[in-house]
Every structure is written in C-alpha cells, then in structure tokens.
Amino acid sequence: METKLDKHRMERVRRRCGFLCGIEVEAEGSMGGLCLAWKEDFKVKLRSFSKWHIDVIIKEDDMVGEWRFTGIYGSAYLKEKHTVWNLLRSLAHENSYPWLVEGDFNEILYSFEKSGRTQRDMRRMDAFREALDDYQLMDIGYSGVWFTWERGSLMEKLERLQLCLTEWARAKVKEKEGLKKELTKKLELLLAEEVNDDTMAEIIDTKIHLNLKIDKYEMYWEQRARANWLMLGDKNSAYFHNWAVARRRANTISKLETEEGRALEEGAEIMTTATDFFKDLFTSRGLANASRVLDGIESKISFEDNEFLVSPFTTEDIQGALKEMGPTKAPGADGFPALFFQRCCAHSKIPRPTKMINFRPISLCSVVYKIIAKAIVHRLQSVIDRCIDKVQSAFVPGRLISDNVLLAYEILHTLRQKRTGKKGIMAVKLDMSKAYDRVEWGFIQEVMTKMGFARKWVELIGRCVSSVSYAIIINGRRGNLFFPTRGLRQGDPLSPFLFLICSEGLSSLMRIARRDGLLRGQCVNFAKSTVFYSPNTTEVDRDAMLKLLRVKTATNPEKYLGLPNMVGRRKNESFQSLVDRALMRIDGWSNKFLSQGGKEIFIKAVLQAIPTYAMSCFLLPNSLCRKMESIFAKFWWQKGKGRKGIHWCQWNQLCRPKNEGGLGFRDLAQFNIALLAKQGWRFLTNPDSLVAQVFKAKYFLGVDFINSQLGNKHSFVWRSIWAAKGVLEKGIIWKVGTGINISIYRDVWVSSYGNSRLLSAGANLSLSTVAELIDNQSREWNREVIRHTFAADEADRILRIPLARIPHEDFRAWSGEQSGEFSKASWNYLPTRANLFHKKLLADASCPRCGLATETIDHLFRECPLSVEVWTHIKYVNHSQFSSLDFIQWLTKTMDILLPDLCRIFCGTLWAIWGDRNARIHERTNRTGQEVVNFVLNYIHEIDGVKNRIPKVIKNEKRWRNPPQQVVKINFDGAFDKDGHQSASGVVARNSEGKVLVSGTSLHEMVDSAFAAEAIACREAVQMGINMQKEEIWVEGDSLTVIKKCKNPGADRSQIGAYIKDIHQMQAVFKSIRFYFIPRTANNLAHTLATEALKRKEECYLIGGVPYFAESHMRDRSLREPD
C-alpha cells in the first residue's frame, strides 16, 4: 500500500517495527511511496523499482532455490492503470522464478468484491482480468474479512495475492506403486526386443495389466476429487489430484469464534465448542400445545392412499431406489457403496466460516438407510400434493420452485405500482433460523396424523427420523457420538418432504390469521429478514411496523431464492453475478489441467448450467448472453491459462448438434427463450396452479395465454414470458377429444402436417369443428364424410388420429416433431498448414512431410506420398475408391460401405496419419508407412484384448412367471405393418398355475405407428380383464414407454394420449391393477399371437386355449422361471 512518507521518515517507521533491512521508494508530496522490509535471515537482491513497484529475488536460509517477489501499488486513476498493467507485462517476460505478486492493485476482478455506491465498470474489471491471464498469475484466495478496505458505505476487496504457477505446475507429484513401476519397466524391455508373435502377445498382455492398474489408481483420485460433472470427461489427470488437495485445504477449520467473540485455535477447544453447539441445537425444547395449528389442517389422505402406502415393499421398489443413488456416495458400516449394490460432514454456507452459526450439518446417511428412505419417498410423492397447500412449490410433483420467484416478483411489482390511496401495502421477507434443525419430531407425527396418514405409516416415518446419531468431524478427527431429539437431517431423501409437512403448520396459521390475525410458531432470523413497502405507505406507518416487527426496511428487496426481486433499466448489472460466477469457475486453478474432452463436459455441465435458473424466469439481455458465450469460447479454445488459442470456427457452429458436425453447446439466447416458453406452457397445461392463477388474474383474464396481450404496466417477468409466446404458437397442436373446441381449418390438429393447417375444403364447406367429423355413437371417425371432404392424403392422416372410446375435453399439446433434414457437417477445423496460413499464423502453407504441395485436409489424408504409403499397407481398405469426391463426401461414403471392423481400422488409420504428421513436426520422428500401420493394428488388437478381459455378467434369460394367487396376469403385444398402416393385438390371460384362461387377437386399421399399436394392444388387455370380471389383474408388455405411461396418472399429451386416457379411466373398474414391463423373452406367447394375426389377417377370441398357430409357444409354461 502507499506509505505517503518521504524516504527518511519511512526508514524510521521500518526500524521501529523491527526490520533492519529494507527498500523505500519516496512519496511524491502526499501521494505514493512504497516500502519493502525484511529480517536478517533473508537474502534479498533488488532487480528494479519505480513509484508503482518493487521487484526482488529472495533466498531463504532453509530453502535450496530462490523465488521472486514483486510488490505493486496500482494507480487509483483510470488513465494510469494501463501503465501499471504494461509494467507487470514487462516484468512477467523477464521471469524464470516462482513468482509471488502482492499489493494494492486498486482494482477488482468481480463485481461482488465491491459493496455500496455504483457498480464497477465491466471494462475495467475485464482489463485487469486479461492482464492477469497474460502474466499467468492467479488469485490464491483469502482468509478473514472479505472486504479489506472500508470508507463509509463503500467497501472493496483490494488487497490481492497473485501467484505464478508456470514453474510449479511442472513439478507434478508422481506417485506410483511398486507393481505399476514393475509393469512399466517390463514393457520398456519388451518394446526394445525384436518383435515376433510371442513378444507381441506379451506386450499386449503387459499393457492390459498396466492399464487395469492405472484404472484403479484413476478411480481413487476421481472419488477423492468428487467432481461429478466430470464423469464423461477427463480420467486420471492432474485435475483430480489438484482438486482433491484443494478440497482438503478448503475444508480445514483453523479457527472458530465463540458467541462472546473469543477466538479458538486449539483443536480440542474447537471440537468441544462445535459438539456443544450442535448438541444444544438438536435438543428438543418440548412440544407445545399444537391444537391451534392443527385446527387449520384437513384430512386429505384416503383409505386407498393408506393401503398403497403401507403395502409391503417389493423388489421393484428397492431397485428403483438404488437406481437413483450416486454409485460412490457414503457407504454404510459394511463399507459397501451404492455401486456395490447396483452391480452385483458439517458443511458451511459461506467460504471459510469462523462462527458456528454459519455451519450447517450434512448427514452422511448410509446406503442401506438411503435405500429405505428413497423407497418411502417414492410412495410419499404420489400423495404429497393432496395434503400440501398450493402456496408451497418445492419438492411437490408438478410444481416448480421457480414459481415462488415469479410470484415474489409480481407481488413486489404490484407494491411498486401502488402509488395512490390511503392504505399502503407491505411485503415481509422472513428468514427462518435453522429451520431444518429445529423441527420437533412429535409435531411432524401430529400433523401427519391430522392429514389422515395411517398410524403404521406415521410410525415408519418416526423410526426413520429418530434413527440418527451425530459425531462432529473437525479436520478429519471425529468427536464423541451424541443422539439428537429434534431436527431433520440434511442429505436425507425424506427431509424435504417432511419439512413440507411441517410447514403446513405455518400455512395453517396463515389461514387462521385471516380470521383473527395471529401468527406464531417459527423462530425468525430477524437479522436476515426485511420488509418492503409500497410508495404510498406513510413514514408514520413505516415507523410503527419497524417497532412491531423488529426487521430492517429495504428500499431494494435484494434477492429471493438467488434471483433479483427487482430488475430496473440496467439489466446487465442486475445479472452481472452470472458472468462473475462463470469467470470464477473458469479461473479456478484446477480447470487448466482439463483435456479438451474435460472442457466439453465442464462447459455443458457447469458453465452453461449457471444461468439456467435465472433464464427460466427472466429474459436476459442479448449482450449478456453473447458476453457469456464469448467467455465460454475463449475457455474452449485456449491452450492453458494465459495462452490464447485459435478460434477455428464461430461459437454458433459449435452449438450445432453433434450429428450436424457441432458439439452440442447451447445458444444461450435461444435456450433462454425455450425456458421461458416452458413457463408459458405451464400456464396453458396447469391453469389451476397458484402461479398461473395469479398471472391470469393480472394479465390475461378471460382468455388463455396463447391469446393474451402484453398490456400496460407489465412487470419484467411477464414481458419475459410473453416474449416466448411465439415459440409456443409455432409448436402447439390440438389433441382431439370431443372436437368441439377445434376449428377444422383455422387450428393445427393433424400432427403429420407439423404446424400447417389443412388446405383442402372439398365439397362440404358447412363443416366448421372437428366434432362434426366424429361419429359420437361409435366414437370413431366418420370415414364417409372425411373421404368426401378432404384430399386422399389429408383424409388418411385424419383417420390415423386416435380417438378415445370415452370422450374427453380437447387439449393442446407440443408437436415436438423433428424436421428430419440434415445439414452438411461442420468440418475442416484441423490446424493444417493451409488453415494456419489462412489465419495468418504461418508464412508457409506447404506440407511439412513431403513439401510438394499445400497441406490441405485432402492432401494430408489422401494425396501426400507418405499417407498413400500408409493406405497401401492397409490391405482391407481401398482409399483410392471414390477419389473424385471431396474429402467429407469420401469420408462419409467410405464409412457407409465398410463393415464395422474395417471401419475401425479406417478411422484408426486417419487418426494415426494425423498423429504421425504431428510427431514429425514436434518430435522430429520419421516412421515408415508400415510402422504406422503396425501401430494401428496393435492398438486395435490391444483394445480387443481389454474388452475380452472384462468380466462378462451372465444374464439369465427372463421367462414368464406365475402371478400370485387370486391374480390374473394378462400379457399383450402389438404388431405393426408400416406400409398398410395396420396393426394386430395379441392378448393372453393366465392364472397363478400358468393355465391359459382366455386368448385373443384383433386387427386395427389406420394405425399411425408401432408405438400406437402397442398402446392399442395394452388397451385390449385391460378390456379383456373387464370382460373377464376379474378384481385383481397384472398387465405385462414389452413396451417400456407404454407401461410407464399407464403407471403415470397424469395427463398424457403424446400421440397415444387417447389410448392412455382410456386405460386410465378403465382402471377404476378393478380393485387392483398393476402394470409391469417385461423383456420379449418373457412375452413370447403374446408376441406370436400378434405377429401371426397380422400376417394371416385373422381375428379370434378363445376361452381356455390359444389359436393353432401359437400352440408351439405354449412351452412358455414349462420354461417359466421358478416361483
């Protein structure tokens, strides 16, 4: 920092502080001045100094090498900042030492580092950030108070430590076990010997063993790093090692501060304080009389719901729970993680906390407990929406937490619009103090009982909640075990749903409060709570509420659930935090160790996910989207921190799907519109939700969202959602129920036409609605009218639209059809010399291997004599075939005609040619064409060897199994003739002994797809159960999609929605009906019935047997699995 002292006065200050050695740069009047001081045991050599810096080389007595230190004072004046950045640039070019840069830069990297007054200019922060990248410097973080300088309300984090890792990154830790070293040495000796068949076999075997050893080592570091987003990216890279070390450092607790302000640094004191804090937090205060709270809660759980909840858990329940678990999450006492079952720590809200109030407990639930909890959650989810107030949005199926953001924004927008009238309005934002940790177990049980849950279910939940025990872990050392008497576990799958049930108490109080104005029952965090008033609220009223509520008044309500509650004209500033978060993730030191594949996953899973939440509620400025995409592109192409890469193509080309030559990155602006269109879609399809009702009452009363107008005095949220209405209009299609609400010619209702309307009017112009094309008696299309009215192609498409047997309302659906057109792939992005010459990065574009021609992509792979030599030795691939085609056509055509094994050799050869070209340039190698071919064949041989060594899981072929007593199992299958648009259904019903009760086949005309054929067959199976008058049936089929739709009670808007709606309505006839997916091998009899019926064009309905053509498949009964 600047001393503002002359040289002599600063020297006296230095000596008074105990530093005999030092360098002073004299101040200019009352401005500037620098000083560097050190003790006698340091050897310091001055390199240079100025009014902005002091640069020295330091050698410590106990260190072998030297390192460099530069102290910087950045100018506070904008016009002089570039002078300081250029000075640092010149110092960086002279560097050959590990380099530490420290000082007051008078600049910040991110907008959140500054509090108060106006936002920092983005260009100044960008310039500072780019300067640090150029110097290969990075922020090593901080410890202590975040804002290190304060004047009035303006606080800025200005003291920065910068670290150069150029040299340090080279010194990678090489930890290799004995066997790994031995295998590596053995491989080196084998490669030095003369190659023959025996040697080659031993080389391949050694490589396989070495790779398996490396895989185990890689898995260890992957689990230590816990970077789940990198699942499809890097393997055992430096990323994992550095990330694991960083996690350990970040999780270390070196100091705690007590409530009295006393600092604790001793491990034993920290452990005792932490344990006492959480013991007190999780100790029940006793359950007060909750009768008043329970008065407002109604019983919503029916007898049938309770029967389902308390029924015995099945194998499918356990398997479903296992599939949702992370494979390497916390194991149980037996040490087995979820991965084993699938295949054969206190956490802080703020960085580096020092007070116990800032820690939150994360419970490490065992695998066995999580299986139980998830199985319970799956059942609870099916009934939770019935007993939770519609004002609760999180964790309830069909509701989104973003609904709360939209509602909060609209509430505050309404407040700001109210500028007249005698009565003001206020909104209170409450923060519940340690809400999860203060939940009383007895209260949850009382609420669940009042809601109507069975006693057995309530007791099961109680056993789950009370099975917890805690032990505090500080820096890897575990404290004493203690047992809580209240609180919900963070990380327990049940906890969010139990908290919803608990919060119904608050909803009940709110309902009661409308009657008598009483609110109580929660411990409010007054320090984090705020109140916001409408402009017409008088100061007298504000003062009175301040005394009553004891919460601070906010002119700007800041953020709610992480998003702004108010967005003004300066929208870029409102969402600047998104840019900052992306830059922080990129600037994380570990990311420079990522490979290109790791970068792809990092961009898709981490960076592009950052703005998603905000995009679902707000239309971000285009300039902000482009800014973020520019950051992503720079990260994608750069070769390392401070090393700017070549942008070989535009970002929008990388945003294309992979099958079109892109990488599948998102276009943020278009993705933003798509997310907002989803909100509009929910207004259409879920009009009874609270958020839809609020927006309808405020903006489109009397019409639906599609026919709404923007209107006046609209909020930014409404303007954002309304901007996406055009996307919905292009993709919406009507699904026919009764047909009363659908216009034949004005609306889109024939799916095969996409978004087009019918053009032909025929001879019957009197028809107006689709209902007039349906025979209401048979619930089938009136073929005569349709054939007479429409052209043949249009008539066929209409007749293939499914109609439900039981009439239902017409509804809109999303067409979601793909265009089916493929554009030319994006290619030629290899840095050949022709491309580098085009980018003005090389002066010579000639081929570096032969020097005979320009190195284009065609020359590189097909025309260069060295490449021709390689292809000559590949006997199985004729590279000269299709030589008249350009490269991309030649590539596509060749791969189309080759068998899979030859295609692998072809692709491997292309890769090897490119690798040989690079090795010749950078490593000065000189391999012959035969050597390149040998490399390709050996590489493929090695891959095949690894595949053969992978243990194969022996899967038993699934067979038909007997149902339980009193249950009839009905199997179905559908067969489809694409050319004739016909289908056949095969259905067979059997009892618990495997005896055929009924079998049948039926033919169907004007069927649109095999998908529809399966749905029709399923409907026939359910109808067979009704005809047999059975109370309990199981329906089995080999169409997973149809089975899932039958299990899902929600509205189905797909092309088979009419059939699924019939199935749902027919289910009410049965006492019990279940749907199961089975593989084809367990469904042979129904499959044979369907396929043979379609082939023979025969229908039948037989009691006690099967048709003659299916008798040979009755062996399913004898080959069934044992019960």
Query: pLDDT, tens digit, for every residue of 518-555?
Result: 544 445 555 556 776 667 777 777 777 776 766 666 66
Are residues 998 and 936 part of one domain? no
Q: What are phi and psi of 617, to 5 degrees?
A: -120, -30
Q: How far apart are CA 321 and CA 316, in angstroms?
A: 9
Q: How far apart are CA 280 and CA 275, in angstroms?
A: 9
Q: How far apart are CA 464 and CA 371, in angstroms?
A: 12
Are residues 215 and 143 part of one domain? no
Are residues 1050 and 912 part of one domain? no
- Is the residue at 277 inside a domain? no
- Is the residue at 31 inside a domain? no
pLDDT tens profile 967-1002: 999 999 999 998 888 999 999 999 999 999 999 999
Q: What is the DSSP string of 86-138?
A: HHHHHHHHT--S-EEEEEE-S--SSGGGEESSSPPPHHHHHHHHHHHHHTTEE
Most distant CA pair in the chain, distance:
113
Distances from the Cα of 108 to the Cα of 111, 139, 286, 929, 1000, angstroms: 7, 11, 50, 56, 76
- For the whole model, what pTM was predicted? 0.61
Distance of CA 166 to the CA centre of its chain: 33
Are residues 153 and 46 part of one domain? yes
Give the pair of three-digit tokens for residue 42.
């340091």
Range of the domain at 1080: 968-1117
pLDDT tens profile 1080-1103: 888 989 999 999 999 999 899 999
Distance of CA 557 to the CA centre of its chain: 29
Q: How far apart are CA 754 and CA 775, in angstroms?
A: 25
Q: How far apart are CA 385 and CA 693, in angstroms?
A: 17
Distance of CA 200 to the CA centre of its chain: 45
Are residues 189 and 314 part of one domain? no
- Give the end of a domain, one of 509, 541, 564: 564
- Is the residue at 451 inside a domain? yes
Distance in Å from the first CA to the final CA of the chain:
81
Give the pair of three-digit tokens for residue 90.
């010149």
Are residues 482 and 368 part of one domain? yes
Give the pair of three-digit tokens for residue 803.
């109609």
The number of beta carbons lying within 10 Å of the beta carbon of residue 700 is 19
- Give the end of a domain, one of 564, 590, 605: 564
- Is the residue at 675 inside a domain? no
What pLDDT is attached to residue 584?
80
Angle at which helices 865-873 and 929-949 cross, to 10°: 50
Are residues 192 and 153 part of one domain? no
- Is the residue at 937 inside a domain? yes
pLDDT tens profile 299-317: 888 888 888 888 888 887 8
Q: What are phi and psi of 1043, to 5 degrees?
A: -60, -45
Distances from the Cα of 136 to the Cα of 56, 167, 195, 1093, angstroms: 19, 11, 46, 73
Give the pair of three-digit tokens for residue 1105.
């047997």
Please name every residue paired with 530 in a beta bridge, in sequence order, or none if there are none. Answer: 429, 552
CATH code for position 1108 = 3.30.420.10
Contact yes or no for 1015/1059 (Cβ under 8 A):
yes
- Give the end of a domain, one of 218, 250, 282: 250
Are residues 109 and 200 part of one domain? no
Are residues 1085 and 939 part of one domain? no
Are residues 455 and 315 part of one domain? yes
What's the domain count of the chain?
5
Short-list 42, 27, 37, 120, CA closest to 73: 27
Q: What are phi and psi of 113, to 5 degrees?
A: -80, 0
Amino acid at 25: V
Are residues 987 and 1112 part of one domain? yes
Placement of tokens 């025309």 in the chain: 863
Burial class (CB in 10 A: 0-12, 13-18, 19+), 481: exposed
Burial class (CB in 10 A: 0-12, 13-18, 19+), 231: exposed
Q: How far apart are CA 155 and CA 706, in angstroms?
A: 48
Give the dihedral of Cα atoms 362, 363, 364, 365; nearest 10 deg.
-140
| DSSP state at residue 1076 | E
Give the pair of three-digit tokens for residue 1084.
């042979």
> pLDDT below 50 — which residues of the chain?
146, 148-176, 226-234, 330, 332-347, 517, 519-522, 589-590, 762, 817-828, 946-955, 1116-1123
What pLDDT is attached to residue 954?
40
Helix (H, G, I), strand (E, B) or coil at 177: coil
Contact yes or no for 867/913 (Cβ under 8 A):
yes
- Is the residue at 1054 inside a domain? yes
- Is the residue at 134 inside a domain? yes
Q: How far apart are CA 492 and CA 376, in angstroms?
A: 12
Contact yes or no for 1064/1049 (Cβ under 8 A):
yes
Are residues 218 and 69 part of one domain? no
Contact yes or no for 729/706 (Cβ under 8 A):
yes
- Is the residue at 796 inside a domain? no
